[in-house]
Amino acid sequence: MTDVLHLREYRLFDRSKAEAEGKTFPLLDWEEEHLRECEECHELLAVLTRLCRAAPLMFTSGEMNNISGWYKNLCCGIDDFLIAGKPFPECRRHENLPTKWKLVKEEESTRRTRSA
């Protein structure tokens, strides 16, 4: 392996995003080995991880919800408790239009499970 060969940025981003969601994202054996030895890739992973953790959790209607909690839709500001495992709904006032949802407060039991 040469010094020029680095991990693809999208692979590091996918790993960072998974870690921020409390999931695992396995890298290939050579990627894991390279990450342990490459300071540049390790620093990029750290930056991406900070960004993924700091980013507000925003979702669009139709996407699958992985986190039960209170969400606010951005068009009308309606708060609603949405359950994990179901798709995000459309706004009750604006049917047939895409709706953006922002996580306001995560359910306590889910937070403990994800951080464990």
Same domain, 82 and 109: yes
Q: Of 45, 67, 46, which Cα lies nearest the Cα of 58?
A: 67
- pTM beyond 0.75: the answer is no
Residue 3 lies in a domain: no
Number of domains present in the structure of the chain: 2
Question: Helices (H), strands (E): how many in the chain?
Answer: 4, 4
Residue 4 lies in a domain: no
Structural domain span for residue 44:
9-54
Output DSSP code: residue 84.
T
Residue 45 lies in a domain: yes
> Going residue by residue through the chain (116 aa), what tens digit of pLDDT does each one get?
444 589 999 999 999 988 887 888 999 999 999 999 999 999 999 898 888 877 567 899 999 998 899 999 998 999 999 999 999 999 989 888 889 999 888 765 444 444 44
